[in-house]
Structure formats: C-alpha cells, structure tokens
Structure 1
C-alpha cells in the first residue's frame, strides 16, 4: 500500500544580525532541508537591511539604531509538515543556532519566520499565517519578489503592489553573498 503526502507551499523569511550572519542564514537553511518533510524550491538573493522594529509611529515602534544591520533572505519550500510542525522545526533551528528571545526586536543570531503556508489564513496564540507584519516589511517582500514576482500575500494582495507602497531605503542587495540549498 502506498501512502501519498500532500505537498504544501510555504514561504519562510530568514534574518541574522549577530555574529557570522551569512553562516547563520546558511546553517538555518541547511538544517531546514536536512530533516524529512521539506523540499527546497527556491531561495532569494541576500539583502542587508537596517534593523526594523514595530510599525512606524505605533506604540510598538522602537529605536533600533544601536543594532548591527541584518542579512535577510527568503526561501520557498514544499513540505508535508503541518503549519504547526513547520513552526516547531523553525523554532528548533533557532534554538540550535542560539537564538535568545529575551526581548522583542532584540539582536538575534537567527530568525526564521513562516510568512505563508499555501493560502491558509489562521491565527492562534502560537502561529499566525500569513505573518501579521509581512505586508509592511520590505526585507521580506523584496527578496520574496525576486523569486516569485507574481506572488500574492493572502488577505493583503500582490506582493509587487505591497512592496511599491513601502520605502526603498535601508535595504540593499548583497550580490557578493550567496546562499545555497
């Protein structure tokens, strides 16, 4: 008897601004695909971005000017993991790479966020999909647009249109840095 697995499409965002940033991004991607249940599909160029914390002008906005710049990238994967299983995998990767969650928007060795999982829209205390702030983050939308220019963020619209509404400063493609599967 053969069992079939549903393959779901997920978009993940990776960021690091502590230590060997590129090595942390690569280690996170390696760990993601080294375990069963994940098939790499595409990976964006690497971007260097200024730290960003909370929606501008909101109570959550925070001055992060004292932090080092981030390296960011986006990956598209196929997976037979549920959203919750994928969250457990990403959190285990963060823990293995010494992510400390002492303070919101604090510097981090690695951050791995689930941006979308198919067209699913869900919100519970552990996971919100699509990511609740993806639509206002050029460091997510720009690399994602590079690999899927026609992509749509469920509930928000085409990422090209969302990206066009955001400021263009503070994010720079680093063609000298490359990530691989």
Structure 2
C-alpha cells in the first residue's frame, strides 16, 4: 500500500478547527496505525487576493485507495467542510492537495503527482519535513536539499 502525503490549508471559519476536522476525516481513509499529521504553521497567502493568513500542515498515511479515488475522497472532505472554488488562490475553508502517492509520478488532466508547486512552497516543505525529514522525492531530489533557512522563516509555528 502506498504512503501518501496530503497538504492541508485553511484561512476561513476557524482554520485550526477546519484542519483538525480534516485530519479526523483523513484518518478514516488511512490503514490502521498509519496516520500522522505535522504541526500546524501560519503562512502568508499566495497571490494578490486580499485575505487572512493561512493555517497549514501535512498529513501522511497508507491507503488502499487508488490515486483518483483518493482525489475524489479529498474533494468530498473539502465539500463537506464548505469549500467553494470561487477565486484561484482565494480564501477557503479547506484545501487538501495530494502531494505524493508513494513514489509514483502521475500526470493526467485531473491529477498531477508530485504536486506541481510543492518544491517551492514553504507551507508544504516545512511540515512535510516534520513528518519525513529523510524523504527522497520521486524525481530523486532529497527533501532536505529543498529546505532553506529563508523558507523556514516564512512560517510561524502555532
């Protein structure tokens, strides 16, 4: 069974509670004893849309779900928690992004894994490192090689 990593983010409707609720839902998708979640961090939003800061984290677990079935499950959790896709990089109650699905590289119209922006986003790399500091990405890049003090400084631990 593949080990997956899912990024979590929220900046509306009590973001920490949104992430806590998402973790409970994600744990239901996990094989017993495999679920873990990083500490949460506060981050500045991407893009030009005025909005509150985000709370971010990363969850990991092993699952029997195929990649598209997992994506469907993540989108269902988002919808259950009030996610509306109104503005790209806009505010949201919950955002769940499939970062890694084992060591697979997937490129379909609905799903790209590894997630296309993960190598440059502090709010992904830092919590991912909390869970898997020795991780080697499917492209062969060590996660540790992507982390810099400047990236770490972009986040505030909760």
CA deviation string 1:67-88 (max 9, x = no partner): 1011111111010000011000
Would you say 1:26 and 2:26 are equivalent positions? no
- Specify which of 17, 21, 30 is matched with residue 38 of structure 1: 30
Would you say 1:164 and 2:158 are equivalent positions? no
Q: Is the Cα contact below 8 Å between 1:17 and 1:108 reproduced in 2? A: yes
Q: Is the Cα contact below 8 Å between 2:3 and 2:101 reproduced in 1? A: yes
CA 47–160 in structure 1, closer or farther in 2 if over 3 Å, else same: same
Q: Is the Cα contact below 8 Å between 1:120 and 1:129 reproduced in 2? A: yes
- C-alpha RMSD over aligned residues: 1.5
Would you say 1:145 and 2:141 are equivalent positions? no
**Residue 50 (structure 1) aligns with:** 44
Q: Is the Cα contact below 8 Å between 1:14 and 1:73 reproduced in 2? A: yes
Stretches of structure 2 lacking an aligned partner (at least 5 in a row):
none
Q: Is the Cα contact below 8 Å between 2:27 and 2:35 reproduced in 1? A: no
Shift, 1:105, TM fit: 0.3
SS for the counterpart of 1:72 is strand
CA deviation string 1:99-148 (max 9, x = no partner): 01011101000000100001100111100000010001110010110121
Q: Is the Cα contact below 8 Å between 1:99 and 1:108 reproduced in 2? A: yes
**Residue 136 (structure 1) aligns with:** 120
The structure with the larger Rg is 1
- Specify which of 8, 13, 17 is matched with residue 7 of structure 2: 13
SS for the counterpart of 2:133 is coil
Would you say 1:125 and 2:115 are equivalent positions? no
SS for the counterpart of 2:147 is helix
